[in-house]
Amino acid sequence: MFEALKPGQPDPLLALIAAHAADRRADKVDLGVGVYRDAEGRTPVMRAVKAAEHRLAETQETKAYLGPAGNAAFLDAMADLTFGVARPSPERMGALQTPGGTAALRMAAEVVRIADPAARVWLLEPTWPNHPPIFAAAGLSIERIAYAPAPGARPDVAAILDELRDARPGDVVVLQGACHNPTGQDLTGEDWAALAAFLNRRCLVPLIDQAYQGLGDGLDADAAGLRYLAGRVPEMLVTVSCSKNFGLYRERTGGVFVLSEGDGAANAAAAVAREARGMYSMPPDHGAALVAEILNDPDLARTWREELETMRVRLADLRKALAASHPALEPAGTGRGMFALLPINPDGVEALRTRHGIYMPGNGRINIGGLRQETLWQVAEHLGAACLP
């Protein structure tokens, strides 16, 4: 049976990790998968995480099952971090810990499918390349509309709303909370206000993918858009990831929040917990236990916030330096967070890899965190030269 299987296309972002690892050139540059790197090009375990790991090793008394919803202390702390003062009441919000932001999105898709299999998912492109397969795997149909008119351009919300004119009540609109992947161009406060009014008028359900909180303008500023929506729309899904802001990539630490009215939130939480049970039973606890430990301890939380701020400032400084280093790269300076989308076509991307050992996905997205001050001018020259006029 399996002999007839075709290997299929590898995930383009994950394939880049392997291709970069296999490259023997000493001066190769990895601007591919979204992983933060420090000035030495490393992705160290954060100090707050290390301290929490030590503490957990000393104090954790059992590894017994927790249940499909996962770690309650983690969900409680993440609800505070995500929603702040706009945190919905417990009756309005159901929560499920998930194996990373990817499974959070998948479980969000599943709860939509269970509630209304005919609901369509509207993706604003370009978007994270894993968004379409996640929603397709849940059996939902996908509509694609434009987020921004060109690489480096700001999102055009009037155009987005115009393209959403065919959306039906109950359709889901996927938005990113901050540090847009891949463009780095975020929605403004006015954009969120226009979206909220439109979504309410048309009875559409926003799904906010929040994967980079703290890496754009700061923890609260990066959550302002979703908090605004949370106070205004009757129903909403929010997925969170601790991969980047806690550096817990391989620990798969995330969650999904479902906001609804009446019994909607409780019923949705029960539905996703049932679905999780059939898919992976329950999420891995280690990363969630660390996050709970950090956020519930004032000293660890302070250390973590300081480390996150250092990361945020480093990304912003690198972005500024990149934008100043070549006229073609100037538009990247207006973005936020880890990514910038450069006007480089797949041939240009290929040439950067073969000639200069610079690795990035075919759509021209770069991970700003992969840049280093010492080599930035040289890399910028190659990137700038590869940009289409």
| CA torsion angle 180 125 283 112 (round to 10) | 130
CB of 144: closest distance to ligand LMR in angstroms? 18
Nearer to ligand LMR among residue 152 and residue 254 (C-beta): 254
In the block, which residue shows the tokens 């898919």?
Answer: 279
Q: Is 209 a catalytic residue?
A: yes
Give helix 264-279 / helix 100-115 axis angle, nearest 10°.
120
User: CA 225, CA 146: separation in Å to the nearest integer?
Assistant: 19
CB of 181: closest distance to ligand LMR in angstroms? 5
Q: Is 192 a catalytic residue?
A: no
User: CA 290, CA 6: separation in Å to the nearest integer?
Assistant: 40
**Rounded to 5 degrees, what are φ and ψ at 113?**
-60, -45
Nearer to ligand LMR among residue 13 and residue 142 (C-beta): 13
- Structural contact between residues 318 and 360, judged by C-beta atoms closer than 8 angstroms: no
User: CA 296, CA 76: separation in Å to the nearest integer?
Assistant: 10
CB of 172: closest distance to ligand LMR in angstroms? 20
**Rounded to 5 degrees, what are φ and ψ at 193?**
-65, -45
Which amino acid, residue 164?
Answer: L
β-sheet bridge partners, residue 205 = 172
Nearer to ligand LMR among residue 288 and residue 368 (C-beta): 368
Distances (CA, A) of 239 to 13, 83, 106, 324: 21, 12, 10, 34
Which of 69, 211, 230, 340 is catalytic? The answer is 211
Q: Is 167 a catalytic residue?
A: no
Nearer to ligand LMR among residue 126 and residue 206 (C-beta): 126
Nearer to ligand LMR among residue 35 and residue 86 (C-beta): 35
| CA torsion angle 77 301 254 78 (round to 10) | 20
Residues 6+ apart with CB under 8 A from 79: 87, 93, 95, 257
Nearer to ligand LMR among residue 33 and residue 271 (C-beta): 33
Give the pairing type, strands 93-99 and 253-259. Answer: antiparallel
| Residues in touch with ligand LMR (CB under 6 A) | 13, 33-34, 128, 130, 181
CB of 267: closest distance to ligand LMR in angstroms? 30
Question: Would you call 259 helix, strand, or coil by DSSP?
Answer: strand
β-sheet bridge partners, residue 175 = 208
**Rounded to 5 degrees, what are φ and ψ at 111?**
-70, -30
CB of 128: closest distance to ligand LMR in angstroms? 5
User: CA 43, CA 222: separation in Å to the nearest integer?
Assistant: 22
Question: Which residue number is nearest to ligand LMR in terms of Cβ?
Answer: 34
Give the pairing type, strands 236-241 and 253-259. Answer: antiparallel
Which of 186, 244, 269, 380 is catalytic? The answer is 244
Two tokens, residue 316: 């912003």
CB of 129: closest distance to ligand LMR in angstroms? 7
Which of 171, 209, 222, 285 is catalytic? The answer is 209
CB of 33: closest distance to ligand LMR in angstroms? 4
Nearer to ligand LMR among residue 34 and residue 88 (C-beta): 34
Which of 128, 138, 186, 224 is catalytic? The answer is 128
Q: Which active-site residues does the annotation give?
A: 128, 209, 211, 244
